Chains A and B, each alone.
Chain A
């Protein structure tokens, strides 16, 4: 079986009590199906509030979806019990956005990296030491003997994120969710971290779910891109195809928004879509993008929700232009 992780019609609604009577639901993820293949990097791109982080958390089963199924390596883990989840967690890991708050400031690097081994009961103390030093070398925190006894406050943001990566990868997981791993890191270290992830993927063959708001980094790092808007996937295609031939108006606008270093483009008007995304508590009827869409078809887009259809081979888009 080629798919490592499959999400089937996943919905994640959060109840918020905003009024005196009754409650509102935030529809963070509203019916998403996608799959991550083995040794593949799938980038999920979207604005903030589009539900991409929630999708990542659901796929790690850190939260239980309101509806739909999460299938990992052929096993349905939507309603897994503690023991099953623990087995799953050994094979699925996360790298988080904030390298400052995602690692424990009261533990030194050695303890931080030992914790996953400890939780899953791997190795005796000598083997653990070897694994920890190996992991530090892999993320290029060398010499490991020097870094291991340090506390996180002695490290830079980039170095901390490497510790976060080492912690996620020390268990040799098959599936890793990288939730904006470089958005809080100095621009100078970003490329390094992404190259490091790519290199580790080549060596160990794990799959990544790369969550980002930055389509430019997704382009360099991922094999496939899924674009998310307001809790839904609007377009998904292999990276090159999606960047070069975007079909969905929202994807087009996202690509337009990437600054280009060509001075000839200085005075070119960008076709950026106006306005802000709607609140996920009040999702517009029909196509979710229709209030902002430049290609809005009255009487169709605001009534019927477009399905995700295959517009070209392995290129899917949800837009009435192609129905």
Chain B
């Protein structure tokens, strides 16, 4: 059967169609993940705590708000590299970075933080103020900071916050407490001791007094956060201004116990799962097919040697060997793939050999030998093509096995730590007790994705069946 015909047969069956659609979706997501993230994502991002420092821990996905009676704060990060407006003055210039926040939640934020990265100034150190415009029309000055002046011996341009950014948790900063106390006295004529204000900053900033004189209730509406930087030289620069509204629900897929964005981890798992499955299947079927053809066609001692070797290899228990070799040689993904491929081919070889034995005594091989063709030509150009549909089906069938094997190994804690896989996300969840704590968003999606990927290939195999077995063709 020719390839066009095979594809037509594949597409004519329900499972085949579904398999193709799923596979294309997996491939598209994988492609996106590879393009959007660097290949050393695991080391540079996933396993780097600094990246996730601002994120809430164990936060469910943002859409889970739909199912809860209380609308919880969505974790939001505002970033700006360019000021939204510049107010010129005499020898001074005020740069405004503004962030608009539509606050529709029924609780105060878990925390708010402000940070600033890589500031350079040429004459006087800039002055930074952070203020909040509230939906009730009140203006609230939260934070004021003067950048440290030049050290002795230091001459302009002076750079600050290059390696470690200026990071301020508003609820823990004394200037903020003073400003809050001032705001309460001026606007609501409330006097609260500083010790009591500490820890209530976010509650006060995003709320109004409850009326009983003590508590505050949430004030929903449109807030504007303004970061004003007063600079004294036009060449002064700031590379990034960040404002984080600490929430208790996060993004599309929530976070794990390190605050890592699970959506990103799961996304990066797509290309890895496909890579593991397809590369292992490709290696194992190539080896199995070549050995099977050689064994069946050459016969004699070659045949006996290959078959006995397959018997031995096929009967070695794979899991203990895998665990042992990974302990000895280290937790590397390529090692897992190679071992799975090295132990995966014998079954196919035995099958292919029996098919080749039948073909070898057929008239096609006889006729081609009579033409003077070399054994290699007969094996690769004629025999291989006869069994190719079967080999392809076997390869597709082998793919989920490899994906599941890798997930299993990762789950046993034998995954490659530099490359996040779905199996490892699951393993981390189990190790840190996410299952018992009921963090479903952490455990269910990687499990379901593994199942979905395996199912895609099983569907493809089902669709391939009529190609391999012509009697099933309608």
Interface residues of A, Cβ cutoff 8 Å to B: 57, 60, 62, 85-86, 89-90, 92-94, 96-98, 101-106, 115-116, 119-120, 151, 164, 167-168, 171
B78 touches A (CB below 8 Å): no
Q: Which residues of B contact A92 (CB under 8 A)?
A: 370
* A92, closest chain B residue (CB): B370
Closest approach, in angstroms, between the C-beta of A46 and any C-beta of chain B?
19
Assess the B371–A167 pair: CB atoms within 8 A. yes
Q: Which residues of A contact B362 (CB under 8 A)?
A: 101
| Known A104-B385, A106-B2, A106-B386: A116·B371 in contact at CB below 8 Å | yes
Q: Which residues of A contact B385 (CB under 8 A)?
A: 104, 106
Assess the A94–B372 pair: CB atoms within 8 A. no
Cross-interface CB contact of B370 among A60, A98, A104, cutoff 8 Å = A60
Q: How far is the CA of A101 from the CA of B367 in the complex (A)?
A: 10
Query: 10 A-B residue contacts at CB 8 Å?
Result: A89-B372, A104-B364, A104-B385, A104-B386, A116-B371, A116-B372, A119-B372, A151-B2, A168-B370, A171-B371
Closest approach, in angstroms, between the C-beta of A128 and any C-beta of chain B?
14
Interface residues of B, Cβ cutoff 8 Å to A: 1-2, 362-364, 366-374, 377, 382, 385-386, 388
Assess the B382–A86 pair: CB atoms within 8 A. no
| Known A86-B372, A106-B385: A94·B367 in contact at CB below 8 Å | yes
Q: Which residues of A contact B373 (CB under 8 A)?
A: 115, 119
Assess the A96–B371 pair: CB atoms within 8 A. no
Closest approach, in angstroms, between the C-beta of A61 and any C-beta of chain B?
9
Assess the B372–A102 pair: CB atoms within 8 A. no
| Known A104-B385, A106-B385: A119·B367 in contact at CB below 8 Å | no
Q: Which residues of A contact B388 (CB under 8 A)?
A: 106
Cross-interface CB contact of A102 among B363, B374, B386, cutoff 8 Å = B363
| Known A115-B373, A116-B371, A119-B373: A96·B366 in contact at CB below 8 Å | yes
Q: Which residues of A contact B368 (CB under 8 A)?
A: 104, 115
* A90, closest chain B residue (CB): B372
Assess the A119–B370 pair: CB atoms within 8 A. no
Max chain A Cβ within 10 angstroms of own Cβ: one of B366, B367, B369:
B367
Closest approach, in angstroms, between the C-beta of A95 and any C-beta of chain B?
9
| Known A104-B385, A106-B2, A106-B385: A62·B369 in contact at CB below 8 Å | yes
Q: Which residues of B contact A115 (CB under 8 A)?
A: 368, 371, 373
Shortest beta-carbon contacts, A-B, top 9: A89-B372, A102-B363, A94-B370, A106-B385, A102-B367, A116-B371, A96-B363, A101-B363, A86-B372
Q: Which residues of A contact B372 (CB under 8 A)?
A: 85-86, 89-90, 116, 119-120
| Known A98-B363, A119-B377: A93·B382 in contact at CB below 8 Å | no
Closest approach, in angstroms, between the C-beta of B300 and any C-beta of chain A?
13
* A86, closest chain B residue (CB): B372
Q: How far is the CA of A86 from the CA of B373 in the complex (A)?
A: 8
Q: Which residues of A contact B386 (CB under 8 A)?
A: 104, 106
Closest approach, in angstroms, between the C-beta of A72 and any C-beta of chain B?
14
Assess the B364–A103 pair: CB atoms within 8 A. yes
Q: How far is the CA of A93 from the CA of B367 in the complex (A)?
A: 9
Cross-interface CB contact of B366 among A62, A85, A105, A171, cutoff 8 Å = A62
